[in-house]
Structures are given as C-alpha cells and as structure tokens.
C-alpha cells in the first residue's frame, strides 16, 4: 500500500482545517450550532468553542466518575476550556437522572441541599499560547451545592444570561454502597474459547439494601466497557437469586467483543515529534500535528500495550502548568482502508466524548484510499480507536479496524441500581471496576 506523503496532507487537509478552525474561533459550529441537552445524553459539548472537557473523581484522572454518598473526601471535578480572549459568566446546575440517564423529574429540593445554581468562579487565562483560551474548573459537592441522593447526575453548564441553552454537560454517579459487587472476566465464553470475546459473571450481594426484596423486578445491573456508552448493556433480571444475593451468569448480554488495546498518540511539544507523530508544521494560527498513518489491525498478531482505556491527559512537556500553558493544535488522523460499504468510521475516546457525531466522523478521501479527520486538540497524550458503525445503528464495532483479541486488557464498569415499589428514583446501590486479563 502506498502511504500518502506528508505534503499531500499539508496541501489539502490543512486548508480545510484552517477553515474549520476559523469557525471554531468565532464560535460557529461546522454543522448545527449550539444545541439544548438531549435526554439520555451524558458527557457532551454542545458549543464548539468549548473544548477538552474532563470529569473525574478529585485527584484521579484515570478513574470512572463515581463517588460515594456522604463521604466528605469524595468529590467530582469538572474542567474544560473556552476558546476566547475573555472569560464568560458561566453557571451550572445539577440534574438527577434515572438508570438510563434520563432526567427523572425529581424536585431540586429532593436531591439537593443548597441552591441548584452556582457561578463558575475558578478560572484562569492561557499563558504563552498561540490560541487564547480560558480554563475553568468546578468541584461538587461544595458549600453552595450538595447532592443528597445516590444515582446518576448531570452537571449542566450555561451562560448566566441564557439559562435555557446548555453549553456542555458532565455525567457522574453517586453510590450509596449498599450493594457489594463481585465480578470476573474470562476468555472462555459461551461464543468461543480464547477467540474474539470476553465474558463476565457477576454477583450482587444486596443484604445491606434493606428495602430491596425482589431482585427480579427491582434490581438492574449495567456493564460498560472502557467508558463506551454505545455497547453498554443493562440486565433487568438475574440468572438466579437467593439469600440476599443475585447472580448473573451465561447470559448473552455478558459476552463482549474483546477489541484491542487502544492506540496512543502524544502531541506534547511543537519542537519535536511525540509518540506516533509523523511531522509538525505551522500554518497560522495553528501548529499542525500529522499523526502517522494507521491501518486495520484485524488479523494481526496481538500486542500488549498499557493504555488508559480511551482517556486523555493534557500535557505540554515544556511547561509547569499544562492546564493553562498547553496550546491547541490541529491534529490530523489518517486511516488507510478501502471504503467500507454501508458503515461509517468514527474516532472513539474520551476526547470525542464517545459520541458518534460530526466531530468524530472520519471522512473518506478516495484519492488516497483513506479515512481522514482533523481535530483541534489540546496538547497531551491521547488514547483512541476506530469504530465502524452500520448505517442506522448507534453501536460501534471494533473488529473491522481494531480486531477482537481475547488477550486484550479491558476495563469493565459494573453498576447496580434498584428502585422498590413506591419510590420515584433509581438508587445506585454499588459500583465496581474489573479488568480482563488481571
């Protein structure tokens, strides 16, 4: 296969990237503009001049956004940037959701102590960067706002003079730790033996959930793989239950395609190429980072690589404070492949919020037989993979571009929700993380 020379990228894609970046800098979306948050949406950015959204337990970038109810040291941090020369007067609110991440209609005073609106007062301006931005952060609970129920929450950010338009939102969960979860992962599945899948078995001990008496009707367990939401499953009934425990075994929903280790790319400097970077060019006002061309890994020999399961880390190797001194660069991804019929190809990772939308959609270049995408990203280390999504579907497949290898180390997040008769919300009884191959 003939690889596309770097100068072809600089001659073509960068011109398009500059036009795109101009729209970003003046706050105009390339597709539809700012949108109101949709039901069942999770972590998402709706206004294109907001970037690098992260949500995590305070002090741990690499953990799922889950905290314990009533634990003073457990807090959620949300951070993001606005591409702008001056600060905006931003506010945020909390919305309680059911197990499917739909707002459940509870009154604010039913799930909050304090006021359900607060200013984002923690911000700082970028320093020494080509692209000016403002870095914001907030942490909950705080002296103004404290959640009082377990379950799922959305932090919605809006401009103080337009509260009806959500600019971005961050999803997190609060557990009451009344359900103890145990789980294992094996490559000896009901579909194949050391083949292309991994299978879980789960046990939920709900003896501490004193009001939960019927796990067949009142208990639901969700499983997500590497932070993805497109292939998350919900189990509504256990395989068997008794003695205050519910077991989930040999169910089709417990079998996941094994996938592959995430690909890695580092754009931590504009002075030298980082991991997987082929070249660095400057075209005002951006540095352009050309990532070395990728190909399908299906059918290749599995290679272990320690990744962060699709997460990213903001980092500039030449600064002391990457939050405000890392620059924004245009990153060019290329995936060499014949054009696939009746499917789209998307970039998957936390940097695209795991959403299948125009921001993550790869565009096919027939002249070079390659899928291409240019994104404005903050300097840092990024995990990514390519998912194929059949037309009319919202579920991605790893096999065509990444392959499915039973040895892959995957992070599975398991949550147990329950709602007993007479209650109006889904409690999160417990949560745990288990890794395949460990």
155 C-beta neighbours (distance < 10 Å), count: 21
* Cα–Cα dist 34/20, whole Å: 16
Measuring CA to CA, how many Å separate 103 from each of 39, 99, 109, 147, 426? 7, 10, 15, 15, 11
Question: Do 254 and 199 contact (CB within 8 A), yes or no?
Answer: yes
What's the confidence (pLDDT) of residue 47? 97
CA distance 316 to 162: 34
Q: How far is CA 430 from CA 181, 188, 434, in A?
A: 7, 27, 13
* SS3 call for 216: helix
Looking only at the bridges linking them, the beta strands covering 122-125 and 197-205 are: unpaired
- Reference 222, options 199, 254, 249; nearest CA is 254
Q: How far is CA 153 from CA 34, 94, 100, 104, 410, in A?
A: 22, 7, 11, 10, 25
* The pLDDT of residue 72: 86
Asked if residue 40 lies in contact with residue 170, where contact means CB atoms within 8 angstroms, the answer is: no
Give residue-wise pLDDT tens across range 39-82. Answer: 368 999 999 999 999 999 999 999 999 999 999 889 999 999 99
User: Distance (Å, rounded) from C-alpha 139 to C-alpha 356?
Assistant: 28
DSSP three-state, residue 247: strand
Q: So what's the pLDDT on residue 40?
A: 64
Q: Residues 6 or more apart from 309 whose CB is under 8 A from it?
A: 226, 227, 262, 383, 410, 411
pLDDT of residue 12: 47
List beta partners, residue 243. Answer: none
CA 30, 171, 84, 363 torsion-angle sign: negative
| 426 within 8 A of 417, measured Cβ to Cβ | yes
User: Helix (H, G, I), strand (E, B), or coil: what is residue 242?
Assistant: strand
pTM: 0.92
Count the alpha carbons within 13 Å of 314 in the hemisphere toward its beta carbon: 24
**Interatomic CA distance for residues 332 and 11, integer angstroms:** 12
What string of pLDDT tens digits covers the 438 residues of the chain?
Answer: 344 444 344 444 444 554 555 444 434 333 333 333 333 689 999 999 999 999 999 999 999 999 999 998 899 999 999 999 999 999 999 999 999 999 999 999 999 999 999 999 999 999 999 999 999 999 999 999 999 999 999 999 999 999 999 999 999 999 999 999 999 999 999 999 999 999 999 999 999 999 999 999 999 999 999 999 999 999 999 999 999 999 999 999 999 999 999 999 999 999 999 999 999 999 999 999 999 999 999 999 999 999 999 999 999 999 999 999 999 999 999 999 999 999 999 999 999 999 999 999 999 999 999 999 999 999 999 999 999 999 999 999 999 999 999 999 999 999 999 999 999 999 999 999 999 987
């Amino acid at each position: 296969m003939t690889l596309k020379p770097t100068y072809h990228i600089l001659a073509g894609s960068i011109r398009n990237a500059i036009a795109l970046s101009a729209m970003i800098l003046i706050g105009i979306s390339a597709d539809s503009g700012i949108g109101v948050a949709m039901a069942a949406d999770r972590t998402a950015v709706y206004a294109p001049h907001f970037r690098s959204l992260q949500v995590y337990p305070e002090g741990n970038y690499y953990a799922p956004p889950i905290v314990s109810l009533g634990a003073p040291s457990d807090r959620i941090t949300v951070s993001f940037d606005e591409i702008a020369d001056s600060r905006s007067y931003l506010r945020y609110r909390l919305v309680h959701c059911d197990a499917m991440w739909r707002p459940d209609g509870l009154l604010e005073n039913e799930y909050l102590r304090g006021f359900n609106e607060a200013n984002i007062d923690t911000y700082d301006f970028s320093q020494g960067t080509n692209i000016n931005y403002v870095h914001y952060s907030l942490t909950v609970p705080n002296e103004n706002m404290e959640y009082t129920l377990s379950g799922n929450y959305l932090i919605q950010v809006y401009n103080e003079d337009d509260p009806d338009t959500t600019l971005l939102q961050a999803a997190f969960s609060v557990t009451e730790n009344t359900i103890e979860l145990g789980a294992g992962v094996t490559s000896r599945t009901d579909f194949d033996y050391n083949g292309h899948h991994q299978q879980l078995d789960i046990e939920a001990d709900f003896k501490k959930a004193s009001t939960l008496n019927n796990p067949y009707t009142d208990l639901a367990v969700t499983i997500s793989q590497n932070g993805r939401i497109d292939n998350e499953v919900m189990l509504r009934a256990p395989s068997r239950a008794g003695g205050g425990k519910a077991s989930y075994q040999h169910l089709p929903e417990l079998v996941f395609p094994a996938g592959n280790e995430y690909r890695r790319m580092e754009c931590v400097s504009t002075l030298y190429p980082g991991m997987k970077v082929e070249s660095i060019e400057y075209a005002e006002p951006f540095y352009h980072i050309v990532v070395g061309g990728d190909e399908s890994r299906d059918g290749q020999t599995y290679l272990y690589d320690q990744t962060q399961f699709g997460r990213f880390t903001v980092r500039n190797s030449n600064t002391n404070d990457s939050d405000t001194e890392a620059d924004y660069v245009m990153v060019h991804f290329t995936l060499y492949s014949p054009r696939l019929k009746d499917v789209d190809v998307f970039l998957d990772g936390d940097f695209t919020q795991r959403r299948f939308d125009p921001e993550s959609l790869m565009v096919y270049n027939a002249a070079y037989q390659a899928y291409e995408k240019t994104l404005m990203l903050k300097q840092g280390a990024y995990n990514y993979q390519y998912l194929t999504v059949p037309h009319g579907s919202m579920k991605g497949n790893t096999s065509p571009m990444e392959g499915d290898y039973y040895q892959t180390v995957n992070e599975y997040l398991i949550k147990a929700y329950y709602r007993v008769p007479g209650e109006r919300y889904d409690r999160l009884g417990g949560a745990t993380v288990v890794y395949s191959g460990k």
